[in-house]
Structure 1
């Protein structure tokens, strides 16, 4: 058995047995294509102080075992945040898509300030 969930094949990825899901022998479990989308988001060019903070997925159709193509792009870039979108395709078309939100990790002028002392009233 292979030790990788996907094997690279040029610009595509070939799913191994580790990607096979429990419900359909011809389809992958959700974690495998989700990880492939995260990999694509993490390889996008972003400012050094931004990191991937949140990812959402949509499974449009079963993601079949076999060869997949992954695309990802930054659709909105800003100084403090960026939005990326990506998709997974197989022979039958688009199978899954997702969005990644990247946020700034450094100090920010919009960070919450530490509150002063509060008076507590008891009934």
Structure 2
């Protein structure tokens, strides 16, 4: 069995049950999960729900409703807005010990694809990879989630940091992992890549991660060109352009709670 973020356990009456592994642990604290594994697991649940529908995901929105503990979790799915051309599918997780308290939710807008090859455009060219740069001197050697990813830092562009990331482990046991799930296994790290503050001086935890994709990702390594803006009243935003090795695939945005340590 490969290293992974979750082990699938026996299903519950109202959902699927998973055991969280140590590789989900956050750099903000060892008792909570990094945002990427929960987003990836809930994305998997949404993709499973959409299987056979002919729809493809155009937007994913993770809302972190509370600290996600490293424990056994229950995953439930629903379809708030069913449709043949447009559907909204949701998945949420809660601790098995407290199933009525959801701690994370992902909603996905799924749309019916059609042939628009002649009209296809990218507003950003593909990234040209330069020589690898050293990582910032914080976080990137922490145990837990960060030990499960490879991160290659590239040249800064227009004031934004650029890093290529890939997870080196599976999502759930030896189950197949789609490229979209692979993207969500790293995309929450845009906040760390584009950090405008040092984490030893400020906390800047994100409450959400919203991803818009004009095309589906390919492969297992993705670049984020990220930067943060910090407001004067303790609220910030990190935005990123997302790339695979074929070019620009979409954008992400995260709302930050910023507090001095």
Instruction: Using structure 1 for the length normalisation, give the TM-score.
Output: 0.79
Counterpart of 1:117 in structure 2 is none
Query: SS of the residue aligned with 1:25?
Result: strand
Q: Give the alignment of 1:2-81 within 5 angstroms.
A: 3-11=3-11, 12-45=17-50, 48-81=53-86
- Give the counterpart of 2:109 among 101, 119, 123: 101
- Separation (CA, whole Å) in 1 of partners of 2:41 and 2:51: 18
Residue pair 1:83, 1:100 contacting (<8 A) in 2 also: yes
Unaligned runs of 5+ in 1: 115-123
- Separation (CA, whole Å) in 1 of partners of 2:109 and 2:52: 13
Q: Residue deviations 1:59-107, cap 9 Å, x none? A: 0111000100011111212221110122110124210112110011124
CA deviation after TM superposition for structure 1 residue 46, in Å: 5.4
Once superposed, what is the RMSD of the aligned Cα atoms? 1.9
CA deviation after TM superposition for structure 1 residue 7, in Å: 0.4
Distance 1:106 1:49, change over 3 A: farther
- Separation (CA, whole Å) in 1 of partners of 2:106 and 2:59: 10
User: Stretches of 4+ moved more than 3 A in 1?
Assistant: 45-48
Counterpart of 2:90 in structure 1 is 85
Residue pair 1:49, 1:106 contacting (<8 A) in 2 also: no
- Separation (CA, whole Å) in 2 of partners of 1:29 and 1:81: 30
- Separation (CA, whole Å) in 1 of partners of 2:22 and 2:54: 37
Instruction: Using structure 2 for the length normalisation, give the TM-score.
Output: 0.39
Q: Which has the larger radius of gyration?
A: 1
- Separation (CA, whole Å) in 2 of partners of 1:21 and 1:33: 11
Unaligned runs of 5+ in 2: 12-16, 120-261
